[in-house]
Structure 1
Amino acid sequence: MNDAPRTYDVVVIGAGPVGENLAERTRAAGLSTVVVESELVGGECSYWACMPSKALLRPVAARADARRLPGLAAAAAGPLDSAEVLARRDEFTSHWKDDGQVQWLDSATIDLVRGRGRLDGPRQVVVDTPDGGTVRLAARHAVAVCTGTTAALPDLAGLADVKPWTSREATSARQVPESLVVVGGGVVAVEMATAWQALGARVTVLVRGGELLGRMEPFAGEMVADGLREAGVELRFGVSVASVVREGRQVRVGLDDGGELTADEILFAVGREPHTADLGLDTVGLTPGDWLEVDDTCQVTAVPDGWLYAAGDVNHRALLTHQGKYQGRMAGAAIAARATGRPVDNSPWGAHVATADHAAVPQVVFTDPEVGSVGLTAQEAERSGRRVRAVDYDLANVAGASLYGDGYRGRARMVVDLDREVLVGVTFVGPGVSELVHSATVAVVGEVPVSRLWHAVPSYPTISEVWLRLLETYRG
């Protein structure tokens, strides 16, 4: 062990998309930057989340679209080729090798230290390397924690022996199980139920509450539930797992209502926990395992002198890759400004403050039907004290939707702040709606008056014409 630390302007712990974006901003500003990574450069999104999951789901959506179109329906009636789908998934993950991402770090002149990094006092990081050695790093200006989250698992006796799936196993499994139990009703649960049912598994979803996608508009969960049932997924609401045991190749699942079922695999998709338990938080006065509370520049508020930052899922503001990358860009710019003695720009046009994750977070759920949303639900808006009106429209009545084929089912909702006459939330459900989300995001973030949206003319015939129909409905 060499006691002399390597000194950089900025040390970033975590080389996922958040850490990469943050490091790129600080390095572009002329600050020497090193990234520490214990697994693969590119992080959860590249290898176990966004990219592999969407590679699994895209064939499902394409087949569903084809089955609704006369002239293609018969050709698309057969099953998916699971081997080809999984092979394409493997290509999207670069076969779980990070050579390309490492080359990008090299091209940006960002140093990489492989190993498990942890804080060791103010501005100090210790890295346990794969060869058993130790590297000490020191930061002149900032340490940024971009370690993300890990899957939460329930406290069930013998669960480790069962070897349950989490989101990682669900996106990287090498073969299709004959049967799969999915525990949870959120995004991971419904997306993975969609994918593995389409690939040939018999899927049962167990939901503790009474709805799917409980943080979105109620109709979104209802329509996704209908789609899952039509695909052959069994949904059970109001039940929890009381026990699990693996017997040979099968998992026996006991339920709190006295019921029981068996499956080849069980996936727990019941939430996320901050990846901070072994991060050395206690050496800087914080509690291991906690979320890291930050201000709008992603500076950790509980640590004096302003040297510690936390961007992405680890700060619990918005657990989505695109929001984390945005935070990384803002945090990197703020670190660079402070390091060079420039003021942090807090204006509405500020390039150093992350404000988009307060009330205008966009999200897409890649099920059949798709769900896209941004901002507040009608219920959330009312709870916030706003005087609002929810305006709904049946997407099947939009000419562009009819081009998607027979039996199109969808729904759109915009939530209008009646005092300011701006949108505070928008939700779309239906095939092809994911590409509508950014226009809704611009409307919400930009606080575009409803009167001005009249003059944003949608192209005909596209699904975007739903904007006109929503505005007509609002006007009455």
Structure 2
Amino acid sequence: MSEPSESRAFDVIVIGAGPTGENVADRTAAAGLRTAIVESELVGGDCSYWACIPSKALLRPPAALEAARAVAGARHAAGGQLDVAAVLARRDGFVSDWQDDGQVAWLESAGIELIRGHGRLAGERRVTVAAPDGGTVDLTATHAVAVCTGSAAVVPGLPGVAEARPWTPREATGARKAPDRLAIVGGGVVGAEMAAAWSALGSKVTLLMRGERPLPRMEPFAGDLVADGLAARGVDVRPGASVAELRRAHATGPVTLTLEGGETLEADEVLFATGRKPRTEDMGLETVGIEPGAWLDVDETLRVRGVDGGWLYCAGDTNRRALLTHQGKYQARVAGAAIVARAAGGPIDDGPWGEHAATADTVGAPQVVFTEPEAASVGLTAQEAERAGRRVRAVDYDLGNVAGASLFSDDYRGRARIVVDLDREVLVGATFVGPQAGDLLHAATIAVTAEVPIARLWHAVPCFPTVSEIWLRLLETLRG
């Protein structure tokens, strides 16, 4: 017998307690708005337990060992093997053994009320929560409801896929041991990072991708360097490969993958890293005139377009602007500020650099891929800029020729590119590939998003001898 329903009212209701939802709720609660957050799984969301944190925890130990082995004098001392059990235990520590007590305590300290269960929209400013005990909680929001439910992995409906029980990124980051043979389908960020992680932890990895190289959304040289790095570490990188069928004859037996063209290969596990879809299929979108399962279209203040009354917001993956945790948190700060301002009847600053406008998603969303070597980018690639009709110049430089890079690592291999808008004389994109290239990215993010004039960048002097001297070399190359 199900529990009876109860009704409660709040100023703001946030559906989804991942990093994005937590940040929306934090902003509104801190401003004095009574805020509830609804979560059906773990408070902290995918990033904390199944994505960013565990994947980087898996990747960091082999990267640290690789860095030591890349320097004469340290190489001999780093001659041992990774302790795989210790790596996995360290990962488990970072995800708190998949317990969310710490995150729940933070919500309580911030004055945010947690309501566990599956939340669905039920009309204007209304949310119905199916609680774990079988009861129902009916919520009403005075000012706003924010959808922050994120995205889920897409597994293609290939013949035999259900019986094969493939990994999604969740299983890949949470596995208790390294499979002897791992086939990864998809050459994007997840595919490339998991190939790096599990090959370092002892798996024989085959990376299958439809395109010519990994990381197809970055500059082509980034994918080429990452492919070379993965191959050097034993990954079988196969471009132009598509899976047509899967077969797992026994519950604990291997998976046979049949590729288009008829070739077969066998693996103990197969990971599909083939894209994301919004978690909106069963959340009542039809009650507000939106198709279930859709990505939500938002304005610059993260308010969902087409919903009467302007009370529904969406931040994070679900609006498809930038499927990155840090961008979701950025959107959350903007959305929270907009909700607070509108609740107070104040003005909205949604100009290009306004407090209530999420402009960085389109101007310059930074991303780091933690492979060996790392690949980091912000803004537009040269090809994207040209397609947008800009008159640009791509300026390249070999990172290994920078003094700081050669000191950092023997035989440092890497490359840098800036994309310069020749009419406005500002950077519109930058890409760095090499060991710890991610550390170079924030300077580029500032240059791109703040539209710092090239003439002014000459006066931002990089320290010698650091890898950041790449900025001077790129500007010298631009000047010719």
Give the TM-score category using the shorter length.
Answer: over 0.9
SS in 2 for 1:357: helix
Q: Does 1:413 align with 2:422?
A: no
TM-aligned CA deviation for residue 302 of structure 1: 1.7
In 2: Cα distance, 1:5 partner to 1:74 partner: 66
Correspondence for 1:465 among 433, 446, 469: 469
Which residue in 1 is equivalent to 2:106?
104
In 1: Cα distance, 2:453 partner to 2:127 partner: 48
Structure 2 contact 159–244 (Cα < 8 Å) conserved: no
Structure 1 contact 186–212 (Cα < 8 Å) conserved: yes
Q: Does 1:386 align with 2:390?
A: yes
Correspondence for 1:446 among 445, 450, 463: 450
The one-character-per-residue Cα deviations of 1:259-312 (angstroms, maximum 9, x if unpaired) are 001111000000000000011111111111110000011100021110111100
In 1: Cα distance, 2:408 partner to 2:133 partner: 55
In 1: Cα distance, 2:333 partner to 2:204 partner: 42
In 1: Cα distance, 2:12 partner to 2:340 partner: 9
Which residue in 2 is equivalent to 1:47?
49
Structure 2 residue runs without a partner (length 5+)? none
In 1: Cα distance, 2:93 partner to 2:79 partner: 26
- Aligned-partner residue type, residue 113 of structure 1: I
SS in 1 for 2:376: strand
In 2: Cα distance, 1:96 partner to 1:251 partner: 28
SS in 2 for 1:305: coil
Q: Does 1:28 align with 2:42?
A: no
- List structure 1 runs of 4+ shifted beyond 3 angstroms: 1-4
- Aligned-partner residue type, residue 122 of structure 1: E
In 1: Cα distance, 2:259 partner to 2:81 partner: 32
More displaced, 117-126 or 218-227? Answer: 117-126
Which residue in 1 is equivalent to 2:198?
196
- Aligned-partner residue type, residue 465 of structure 2: P
TM-aligned CA deviation for residue 43 of structure 1: 0.4
Instruction: Tell me the TM-score normalised to structure 1 length.
Output: 0.99
Q: Does 1:151 align with 2:135?
A: no
Instruction: Tell me the TM-score normalised to structure 2 length.
Output: 0.98
Structure 2 contact 4–135 (Cα < 8 Å) conserved: no
Structure 2 contact 300–350 (Cα < 8 Å) conserved: no
Structure 2 contact 53–94 (Cα < 8 Å) conserved: yes
- Aligned-partner residue type, residue 40 of structure 2: S
Q: Does 1:432 align with 2:428?
A: no
TM-aligned CA deviation for residue 150 of structure 1: 0.2
In 1: Cα distance, 2:442 partner to 2:180 partner: 38
Structure 2 contact 391–423 (Cα < 8 Å) conserved: yes
Alignment: residue pair count: 476
Which residue in 1 is equivalent to 2:189?
187
Correspondence for 1:237 among 232, 236, 239: 239
Correspondence for 1:376 among 380, 391, 400: 380
Correspondence for 1:260 among 261, 264, 276: 264
Which residue in 2 is equivalent to 1:90?
92
In 2: Cα distance, 1:130 partner to 1:76 partner: 50
The one-character-per-residue Cα deviations of 1:182-207 (angstroms, maximum 9, x if unpaired) are 00010000000000000000000111
Percent identity for Structure 1 against Structure 2: 65
Structure 1 contact 239–257 (Cα < 8 Å) conserved: no
Structure 2 contact 353–359 (Cα < 8 Å) conserved: no
Q: Does 1:16 align with 2:18?
A: yes
In 2: Cα distance, 1:109 partner to 1:2 partner: 26
- Aligned-partner residue type, residue 178 of structure 2: V
TM-aligned CA deviation for residue 131 of structure 1: 1.1
Which residue in 2 is equivalent to 1:281?
285
In 2: Cα distance, 1:445 partner to 1:268 partner: 34
- Aligned-partner residue type, residue 78 of structure 2: A
The one-character-per-residue Cα deviations of 1:312-344 (angstroms, maximum 9, x if unpaired) are 000000000000000001001101111110111
Structure 1 residue runs without a partner (length 5+)? none
- Aligned-partner residue type, residue 205 of structure 2: V
More displaced, 127-136 or 35-44? Answer: 127-136
In 2: Cα distance, 1:161 partner to 1:329 partner: 43
In 2: Cα distance, 1:448 partner to 1:364 partner: 22
In 1: Cα distance, 2:282 partner to 2:176 partner: 30
